[in-house]
Amino acid sequence: MRHLRQDIFTFEKFSINIDWLGHYRGFVVNLGQWIGLLAIILSLYTLWQIREALLLAFAAVVLASTLNRLARRFQRMGASRGFAILLAVAIFLGLIVGFFWLIVPPFADQFQELTRKVPQGLQRFNIWLEQLETRIPPQLAPYRPDLNSLIKQAEPWIQSVLGSSLLLVSGSLDVLLKTLLVLVLTGMFLVDPQQYRKLLIRLFPSFYRRRVDRILELCENSLESWVIGAIIASGVVGLMSVLGLTLLGVPAALALGVLAGFFNFIPNIGPTLSVVPAMAIALLDAPWKSLAVLILYFFIQQAESSFITPMVMAHQLSLLPAVTLISQLLFFNVFGFLGLFLALPLTVITKIWVQEVLVKDILDEWGNKQSPASMQVVVQTDAKEANVEINYPETNSQPSIDPSSKPDLPPNDDNDIFKETGFGK
């Protein structure tokens, strides 16, 4: 009888300890969840504050990936790594210098011509109004616009434009500094890209590093496809623009064509941006040429969107048009013009990570791994050892697990994971 009472006391003590331990663990779990939520919020806030720096780093990665591919082609021709990098960088800088050499002088001349022709145009417009005044019926004379009053009303607007031009100069200095930063980061990435690749891969668990390496290789191949496709499409659009503007006799046809090819890197919105300076310059020469330029750019845009882009990039990137446009609006609102320019590569990289990690590795495997039907837990107390068996409800179908089978995971061999592949070649 005494032995039975001792067993009952021991069991009650064990129950009290288990109950207290459950409450304690529940408190720890709740506190850990709140700490994790706070850490996520702080991380998102930090990323939002440094979003511009992250975008500049991404621009450097895109440029470095492109130049690295070009350098590797030179290496396959027999050049050393250092000479191949110097040759790729020299070609890139030559293209940048040639672009500004073709664009800046003609537009500077056209701007000077614009400053000369605007007063002449206002004078002609005033003479035309005076001639029109003699033909206007007397009852419509009070509604005749007065050019002098219009000029006085436009003076505040002109002053605001002059004030914003100062902001434009300071903004140009900011753009220059950011461009230099991107070029410096690009050079650093090109010197030893494998070290940065290793650093990024080591941020993931060891069992997932080989998978991340494959995803990074897919991202690099997609960026290369985008760059090659964009260069081909922009080259065709620029050539068609130069030929069309030359046939129409528009001044600075070569500069306008190069500008149209450059803006073609921005899908959907780029052609609209390129037609504005072309129409303005054509309007200075002859009014009918401005309308002809609009019609020309419309047909070029239709040819680019219907034939050139599907043939060059559709099979390489496979992005839906609505997704592309939404991503442009989103990245433009978040990052500005640079986000608009990099919207397509950002969308491509985001699509790859979502498809490979979220869809394939998480959602597709959601119902494949089931919990075991039962689990036995051994709890060691001061009084005795208690065996607690936890039974789960049986499902209609349980997966058969072979103890001798190996999981479909890559071996954890860092030397093999970080071998010279992809970006590091």
pLDDT of residue 112: 67
161 pLDDT higher than 60:
no
pLDDT of residue 415: 45
Q: Kindly state the average pLDDT of the residues 7-29.
A: 48
pLDDT of residue 363: 86
User: Over pLDDT 70: what percentage of the chain?
Assistant: 61
Query: 268 — alpha (psi -120 to 50), left (phi > 0) or beta?
Result: left
pLDDT of residue 120: 60
CB 88 within 8 A of CB 76: no
The token pair that represents 182 in the structure block:
């991107």
295 pLDDT higher than 70:
yes
pLDDT of residue 212: 92
pLDDT of residue 179: 84
394 pLDDT higher than 90:
no
pLDDT of residue 153: 58
Q: Kindly state the average pLDDT of the residues 314-329.
A: 73
- DSSP structure string for 164-207: HHHHHHHHHHHHHHHHHHHHHHHHHHHH-HHHHHHHHHTTS-GG
386 pLDDT higher than 90:
no
pLDDT of residue 315: 56
Q: What are phi and psi of 133, to 5 degrees?
A: -65, -35
Q: Kindly state the average pLDDT of the residues 365-380.
A: 50
Of residues 121 and 256, the one with the higher pLDDT is 256
Of residues 403 and 243, the one with the higher pLDDT is 243
pLDDT of residue 397: 43
348 pLDDT higher than 70:
yes
Q: Kindly state the average pLDDT of the residues 102-107.
A: 75
Rounded Cα gap, residues 262 and 131, in angstroms: 45
pLDDT of residue 12: 46
392 pLDDT higher than 70:
no
Angle formed by the axes of helices 147-191 and 51-76, nearest 10°:
60
pLDDT of residue 411: 46
Q: What are phi and psi of 50, to 5 degrees?
A: -105, 20
At residue 341 the predicted structure's pLDDT band, cuts being 50, 70 and 90, is confident
Q: Kindly state the average pLDDT of the residues 373-402.
A: 42
pLDDT of residue 247: 92
Q: Give 212-242 pLDDT, tens digit per residue.
A: 999 999 998 888 888 888 888 888 888 999 8
Domain boundaries, the chain: 16-49, 52-133+176-363
At residue 384 the predicted structure's pLDDT band, cuts being 50, 70 and 90, is very low
Q: Give 33-45 pLDDT, tens digit per residue.
A: 788 788 888 988 8
User: What are the CA-CA distances from residue 269 to residues 241, 334, 379 (Å)?
Assistant: 17, 17, 66
- Of 203, 210, 229, 224, which is closest to residue 356 (Cα–Cα)? 210
pLDDT of residue 118: 56
Of residues 286 and 378, the one with the higher pLDDT is 286
CB 56 within 8 A of CB 337: no
pLDDT of residue 201: 92
pLDDT of residue 262: 85
139 pLDDT higher than 70:
no
Q: Give 166-219 pLDDT, tens digit per residue.
A: 444 455 677 788 888 888 899 888 888 888 899 999 989 999 999 999 999 999
Q: Give 307-320 pLDDT, tens digit per residue.
A: 776 666 655 566 77
The mean of the pLDDT values for the chain is 72
Q: Kindly state the average pLDDT of the residues 23-31.
A: 56
pLDDT of residue 151: 55
Of residues 72 and 414, the one with the higher pLDDT is 72
